Amino acid sequence: MFSVKLAEETILNLVQPFDPIYDRESINLVDAVGRILSIDLVSKLDFPHFTNSAMDGYAFHYADLEQFPALEIASVDIPAGASSPIPLAIGQCARILTGGILPDRADTVVMQEDITKIDRDHLKLEVVPAIGENVRPKGAFYRAGSLLLPAGTKIDPTSIGALAAAHYQQIEVYRRPRVAILSTGNELVDLYSQAELKLGQIIDSNQYSIASLVRQTGAIAIPMGIVPDRKSELAQAIKDSIDTADIVISSGGVSVGDYDYVETLLAEMGAEIHIRSVAIKPGKPLTVATWQQDLPAPKLYFGVPGNPVSAMVSFWRFIAGSIAKLSGANQSHWYPKFITATTTQDLHAQGKRETYLWGYLRWQSGQYTFQPVDNYSSGNLISLVGTNALAVLRVNQTYVPAGESVLILHL
């Protein structure tokens, strides 16, 4: 049995990130949020493109202040968008608005709050700014040729704004990973089946929860449906999944029950099995296999337990990070986000396996608190609804009293 840490490392080592040449596409910037840059983006422009004012005020030549106790106000105003820099005579200043082009002779802007008008055409500075103050020189933020965003950046709204400002209409991103989702079990019925549920049957909920988790990572979920616990059908479904996807996730059939075929079947079909079980609760049975075809990169197979909560915990702990690595995202996206919080109630675990207890993470009176749910059955999906965190009790950690700090995986 693998420790959680070793399982995480083993899985990440199996993932070969997308190729920046073959696994990329060009998309419109407006569609890019959540996507991963496949190349370094270098600015084609200086930013600011031209020297301009950072304030509403008056532009002037700093050294003129020595000779001229009052500055003469030029007749032309400089609003943002005015296209040619105005000339400025010695001893003159010009009314300028934020974003306006600085006049050629000017080097400093005084805020409009800091002057008084002597008459219609003259003003006096009440507060003298430092030389260069309130001016945004051309290229001060970045220069043409400088790196804006490196490959592997996950595009967020701030990057969208920065790239729009840098005049990127289209960008090169990695393609989205394709993830096939299979549900195994004779008891499973499709959500949209018209027939009434018979005794012993349940709806295949994993198909939908896992597909949603996959989509949340930015990957494409490919629903492969339900496969009964029969070897020949399972073999065909696994083969079809491998053919269409980069990653396959099947749920169910990975325990040691009489109908749990996934692992033996994978081995018979020539897959290489790397992990069979992990010392984690919930989610102990976890099959991780690779599929070496005539491909540049092996395909990754995850067999997670059928219990709905276990399946989701396995995804959060092990699969989300592998999808991130495959997708070309930089290393900061390969691991879950951990913080610490104060538990509001006693937490218990058996101590043999690393235990994940779900609950509510809140910001209360200046600290994070964790409140566990009341019922920890790994079949009880409704207890997971609305939770946003998993408290982690390490191996041999059997008890965390209320008021103590606990490690939290933030969902």
User: What is the closest distance, in whole angstroms, from the C-beta atom of residue 223 to ligand AMP in the complex?
Assistant: 11
Residue 358 to residue 166: CA distance in whole angstroms: 43
Interaction partner, residue 17 (Mg ion, ligand AMP, none; CB < 5-8 Å by kind): none
Cis, bond preceding 48 (omega within 30 deg of 0): yes
When binding is defined by CB under 6 A, the residue of 100, 218, 308, 359 that contacts ligand AMP is 308
Strands 337-343 and 367-372: parallel
Q: Which does 263 bind (CB under 5 to 8 A by kind): ligand AMP, Mg ion, none?
A: none
48 near Mg ion (CB under 5 A):
no
> Binding residue for ligand AMP (CB under 6 A) from 306, 321, 328, 372?
306
**Beta-strand runs (E) in 12-91:** 24-28, 41-42, 52-53, 57-60, 71-73
Residue 152 interacts with which of ligand AMP, Mg ion, none, CB < 5 to 8 Å by class: none
Class of residue 173 by CB neighbours under 10 A (exposed 0-12, middle 13-18, buried 19+): buried
Q: Which is nearer to ligand AMP, 115 or 234 (CB)?
A: 234
Say if residues 214 and 146 touch (Cβ distance below 8 Å). Answer: no
Applying CB under 5 A, among 57, 85, 99, 185 the residue interacting with Mg ion is: 185
- Contact window for ligand AMP (CB under 6 A) among 129-137, 139-147, 168-176, 250-258: 250-258
CA distance 142 to 145: 9
Per-residue contact string for residues 238-277; x = within reach of Mg ion by CB under 5 A: --------------xx------------------------
Rounded Cα distance, 182 and 348, in Å? 33
Cα 250 to the center of its chain, rounded Å? 24
Which residues have C-beta within 8 Å of that of residue 74, sequence separation ≥ 6?
86, 88, 89, 92, 93, 94, 95, 103
The closest of 185, 206, 188, 199 to 258, measured between CA atoms, is: 185
Q: How far apart are CA 85 and CA 47, in angstroms?
A: 18
Q: Please, which of residues 255-274 interact with ligand AMP by CB under 6 A?
A: 255, 257
Using CB under 5 A as the binding rule, the residues of this chain from 118 to 177 that contact Mg ion are none
To Mg ion, the closest distance from the beta carbon of 271 in angstroms equals 19
Task: Please say which residue, 127 or 382, places its beta carbon nearer to ligand AMP.
Answer: 382
Find the part of the chain contacting ligand AMP (CB under 6 A) among 112-120, 152-160, 248-256, 333-341.
Answer: 248-256
- Considering only residues 177 to 206 of the shown chain, the ones binding ligand AMP according to CB under 6 A are 183, 185, 187-188, 202, 204-206
Residues of this chain that bind ligand AMP (CB under 6 A): 183, 185, 187-188, 202, 204-207, 251-253, 255, 257, 305-308, 379
